[in-house]
Amino acid sequence: MAESVVLTTEKRDTRGTRTARKLRAAGRVPGVVYGHKEETVSVSVGADDLLSAVRHGARVVDLQSENDLQKAQIAELQWDHLGIEVLHVDFRRVAADERIHVTIPVEIKGIAPGVSAGGVLDQPIHTLAIECLAVNVPDSIRVNINELQLGSAIHVRDLQLPPDVTALVDPDAIVVHVTSPQAEPEAGAIPGGEQAEPEVIGRKAAVEEGEEEK
């Protein structure tokens, strides 16, 4: 579980693209705090503090404003097109005893014997949606693959979740499995690449109609 992170917020009264850009240039990220049927408040937080918290796996943070301290979940982050800077952040107010829905990463630990036997490790699920207490959000779900043989899989139902944590995805979904390596297609043997030119939709019908008219 990540330690509680305190982010200092400043209330912002101005809105719009221009002021948001000025804020970002000054090293702050525009954001919004909402939830619990209270007033929606536009705020800004320090970009470095926010990025540091996110990279260390913080899901629920303490927002320190001028008057009070409130607990909030980082609900959404908007990134720039290259994924380098955070453009905007959404905070959702939560109570300490409230159960929330969060997405946490799935970490794979160990070396699968199936990989040593020539298989390929495939992980269809990288993040897991869970329901847990706001104060007890796990950093990640660790999956031990030390006994994963070629052709076998670990499903969501096999995961060892911490107490009070429930998975919100299909229990039969595959988290990680070891598959046989795909035969490398030779150049020119790509599926769908056998034909010299694509079929044109409607052309064949038009040609046939033309022949009937003749």
Partner 1 sequence: MPLMPKRVKFRKTQRGKVRGNALRGNTVSHGDFGLQSLEGGWLSAEAIEAGRITATHSVRGEGRLYIRVFPHKSVTSIPAETRMGKGKGEPEFWAAVIKPGMILYEIGGLPEAAARDALARVAYKMPFRCRFVARRPTVG
Binding site for partner 1 (CB under 8 A): 54-55, 57, 59, 73-77, 79, 81-83, 102-105, 115, 118, 120-123, 126-127, 181-182, 184, 187-188, 190, 192-202
Q: Between residues 14 and 180, which has the closer beta carbon with respect to partner 1?
A: 180
CB-facing half-sphere around the CA of 125: CA atoms within 13 A: 28
CB 180 to partner 1: min, Å:
10
Give Cβ neighbours of residue 104 (< 8 Å, ≥ 6 apart).
Answer: 59, 127, 128, 130, 137, 138, 139, 140, 141
Assign 51 to helix, strand or coil: helix
Q: Between residues 64 and 90, which has the closer beta carbon with respect to partner 1?
A: 90
CB 16 to partner 1: min, Å:
20
Query: Cβ distance 27 to 33 under 8 Å?
Result: no
Q: Between residues 44 and 73, which has the closer beta carbon with respect to partner 1?
A: 73
Q: Between residues 16 and 198, which has the closer beta carbon with respect to partner 1?
A: 198
CB 198 to partner 1: min, Å:
5
CB 184 to partner 1: min, Å:
5
CB 13 to partner 1: min, Å:
26
DSSP letter for each residue of 151-162: T-EEEGGG--PP
Q: Between residues 18 and 81, which has the closer beta carbon with respect to partner 1?
A: 81
How many residues in total does the chain contain?
214
CA distances from 97 to 119, 132, 183 (A): 44, 10, 52
User: What is the DSSP secondary structure assignment for residue 77, as one 8-state letter?
Assistant: E
Distance (Å, whole) CA 91 – CA 31: 7
Q: Between residues 23 and 145, which has the closer beta carbon with respect to partner 1?
A: 145
CB 158 to partner 1: min, Å:
19
In sequence order, what E strands does 125-171 have?
127-133, 141-144, 153-155, 166-167
Distance (Å, whole) CA 44 – CA 66: 12
